[in-house]
Amino acid sequence: MDDVLAVPDSASAVFGDRLELAVAYAERLAGPGIERGLLGPREVPRIWDRHILNSAVVAELVDEGRIVADVGSGAGLPGIPLAIARPDLEVVLIEPLLRRSDFLTETVAALGLEGVRVLRSRAEDVRPRAGFDVVTARAVAPMDRLAGWTLPLLRPGGVLLALKGRSVSEELRDSAASLARMGAASWRVEEAGAGVVDPVARIAVVVAGRRGTAPKQGARQRRTN
Ligand SMILES: C[S@@+](CC[C@H](N)C(=O)[O-])C[C@H]1O[C@@H](n2cnc3c(N)ncnc32)[C@H](O)[C@@H]1O
């Protein structure tokens, strides 16, 4: 196990003096995370590159002191690596399944991650008092469904950062009409993690427009464009 979980050199640059927390998280993923079925056993040799570092590099796109919701967090990806790399952020991990939200609560406590909260809920049922600055999501839903769940969680001007991989440009192009209809002000693709992960992370950045705040329960969303 130790060899498979060898810490890549680039991890020090990403996590700095919080590298030990990232190592503890890697061990939790490879231990209880696998035992409890949150990650497949074949993922163990890829825990650092494909999961932890690929998640943490999203930090490049998040400004200082932001309040972040990680939707469909699963075993904590990308929310926990992001919170470890960036203690200046407040992070809410949103996950509906009990088995996963229990793992998240235990992990946040075990690592002593201040500023991280777990909310057991579906994204579309969350009604934040004030919109989040940033929503992150990885491998949760196709873009138009994801935007439908997450744009209402954002303050106007807030951003959805969706880790989408190679298909990101096509997904954004195919969802353009829905994004406009749901009130997105703009959208683009950004890359993150050059020199840290190969291939670099490709991230859909969707900016919430004025209608990006949570609609009242039962309110209909109107066409914006
Ligand atoms: C494929 S997993 C990805 C987990 C994690 N983001 C990752 O990259 O490893 C999808 C996650 O989305 C969660 N999910 C599904 N529907 C959801 C919804 N409506 N709101 C929030 N989370 C949801 C699932 O419970 C699951 O944990």
Tell whether the model's pLDDT for residue 182 goes beyond 70: yes
Q: Is residue 72 marked as binding? A: yes
In total, how many domains does the chain have? Answer: 1
Question: Alpha helices, DSSP H only, in 91-167?
Answer: 98-111, 143-150
Which residue puts its alpha carbon closest to atom 10 of ligand 1?
140
Domain membership of residue 109 as a residue range = 10-212
Per-residue model confidence as pLDDT tens digits over 91-112:
999 999 999 999 999 999 999 9
Peptide bond into 199 cis (omega under 30): yes
Residue 124 lies in a domain: yes
Instruction: Answer yes or no: is the C-beta of 140 below 6 A from any ligand 1 atom.
Output: yes
> In this predicted structure, what is the pLDDT of residue 13?
94
Q: How confident is the model at residue 213 (pLDDT cuts 50, 70, 90)?
A: very low
Q: How confident is the model at residue 3 (pLDDT cuts 50, 70, 90)?
A: confident
Task: Report the percentage of the chain scoring pLDDT > 70.
Answer: 92
For the residues 182-192, what does the mean pLDDT come to?
Answer: 96
Q: Is residue 190 marked as binding? A: no
Q: How confident is the model at residue 211 (pLDDT cuts 50, 70, 90)?
A: low
The model carries a pTM of 0.92
Per-residue model confidence as pLDDT tens digits over 47-88:
999 999 999 999 999 999 999 999 999 999 999 999 999 999
* Cα–Cα distance measured from residue 163 to residue 135, given in angstroms and rounded to the nearest whole number: 11
Sheet containing 90-94: order of strands: 116-119, 90-94, 67-71, 132-138, 154-163, 201-208, 184-192
Residue 221 lies in a domain: no
Whether 142 contacts 169, CB under 8 Å: no
Residue 220 lies in a domain: no
Q: What is the CATH number of the domain that holds 148?
A: 3.40.50.150
Position in ligand 1 atom list of the atom nearest CA 73: 6
Which residue puts its alpha carbon closest to atom 9 of ligand 1?
77
Residue type, 3: D
Ligand 1 pocket test: pick from 38, 71, 140 the residue with the most ligand atoms within 8 Å of its Cβ: 140
Six token digits for residue 177: 């009409």
**What is the torsional sign of CA 173, 144, 76, 67?**
positive
Instruction: Answer yes or no: is the C-beta of 123 below 6 A from any ligand 1 atom.
Output: yes
Residue 120 lies in a domain: yes
- Placement of tokens 């939200």 in the chain: 101
Ligand 1 center to residue 163 CA distance, Å? Answer: 13
Residue 4 lies in a domain: no
Residue 218 lies in a domain: no
Which residue puts its alpha carbon closest to atom 18 of ligand 1?
122
Q: Is 90 helix (H, G, I), strand (E, B) or coil?
A: strand
- Placement of tokens 């998280």 in the chain: 25
Residue 198 lies in a domain: yes
Ligand 1 center to residue 140 CA distance, Å? Answer: 5
Q: How confident is the model at residue 4 (pLDDT cuts 50, 70, 90)?
A: confident
Q: How confident is the model at residue 210 (pLDDT cuts 50, 70, 90)?
A: confident
Q: Is residue 77 marked as binding? A: yes
